[in-house]
Amino acid sequence: MIIALAGGVGGARLAHGLARVLPPGELTVIVNTGDDFEHLGLHISPDPDTVLYTLAELADAERGWGLRGETFHAMEALGRLGGENWFALGDRDLATHIERTRRLAAGDTLSAITADFAARLGISQAILPMSDDAVRTIVHTDAGALPFQDYFVRRHCAPRLISLEFAGAETATPSPALRAAMARADLRGIIICPSNPFLSIGPILAIPGIRSWLAGRRVPCIAVSPLIGGKAVKGPAAKILAELQIETTPRAIALHYQGLIDGLMIDEADAADRFGECAVTATLMRDIADRERLAREALAYIERLRPAA
């Protein structure tokens, strides 16, 4: 069994490649819930949904989030009534949030709901939110402390970022399903997907039980760098990293994961800046063939790093 840590788009794409090349049931994906929020009375879980939709092959490839062929009539109607429509919830995507919110109110856990949604969407891999406890990413900026989606979507990351806070992470614990996955005797390796190390993987690592498990791992752990040629592939990561005064180099990524990884996969365009134990490959995932190839290479790298028994 392989455990992958993932945030949104980039992480979901590699998780999809892994799901396609590993036998059914041999992959567990731990997903960031720091981006979760309550909006319009609904519980929105953007990264778990991105992983669900991507593994179910229902995701919109261009946007990376939401469903393919989605319409936004409800948001248009909401806007006409003067309602809040800055966060674009698609008409079909709304069903996911409505049903999740109903089940949470009825007492189900986020883990149980996500597992059931995955099964109903025909996914045979385990998709586990990083915790059933609320962890919320707060972005401290020159415009004050902002909830993540307020900063990211509503304000298009315009305020200058000062620091990140993962509220609730200190006391959050991995769910029983996640604890069982982390303790699996047949665990072969751990892959930190090419999601933003600070915004998307940071909240997962801020949970003490997950961080200490990674630090004490008995199997190889690798990270796939989200950088290509010193730039972030998607999103405003470059601006965010610059404001946090973190350089966009393999070295900065390796130092961020220090003590938690045994190797870093970097893109050919960053080969000259390699730092520590690295594997160099083409990391851009344009299509499903790219996802599968990168997944195979990540699995082969794990095998190379495994100490000879």
Amino acid, res. 245: Q
Q: Report the candidate in 195, 300, 302 with the shortest Cα–Cα distance to residue 257.
A: 195
Q: Does residue 178 contact residue 209 with C-beta atoms inside 8 Å?
A: no
Give the nearer residue to ligand FO1 in terms of CB position, either 55 or 299.
55
Give the nearer residue to ligand FO1 in terms of CB position, either 89 or 219.
89
Distances from the Cα of 296 to the Cα of 1, 3, 35, 48, angstroms: 14, 14, 29, 23
Q: Which of 2, 5, 16, 65 is the binder for ligand FO1 (CB under 6 A)? A: 65
Give the separation between CA 251 and CA 115, rounded to whole angstroms.
36
Q: Which of 49, 70, 267, 270 is the binder for ligand FO1 (CB under 6 A)? A: 49
Alpha helices in the chain (DSSP H): 9-21, 46-55, 73-80, 93-105, 110-120, 148-149, 176-182, 202-205, 208-215, 237-243, 250-256, 288-305
The answer to the question of residue 270 lying near ligand FO1 (CB under 6 A) is no
CA dihedral 91, 132, 144, 11 (to 10 degrees): -70
The answer to the question of residue 205 lying near ligand FO1 (CB under 6 A) is no
84-92, 174-182, 258-266, 301-309 -> range binding ligand FO1 (CB under 6 A):
84-92
Q: How far is the CB of 149 from ligand FO1 (least distance, A)?
A: 6
Give the nearer residue to ligand FO1 in terms of CB position, either 44 or 126.
44
The answer to the question of residue 67 lying near ligand FO1 (CB under 6 A) is no
Q: Which of 29, 35, 125, 127 is the binder for ligand FO1 (CB under 6 A)? A: 35
Q: How far is the CB of 239 from ligand FO1 (least distance, A)?
A: 14
Q: Does residue 147 contact residue 213 with C-beta atoms inside 8 Å?
A: no
Q: Does residue 100 contact residue 143 with C-beta atoms inside 8 Å?
A: no
The answer to the question of residue 201 lying near ligand FO1 (CB under 6 A) is no
Give the nearer residue to ligand FO1 in terms of CB position, either 49 or 267.
49
Residues that bind ligand FO1 (CB under 6 A): 7-8, 35, 46-47, 49, 65-66, 87-89, 93, 149, 152-153
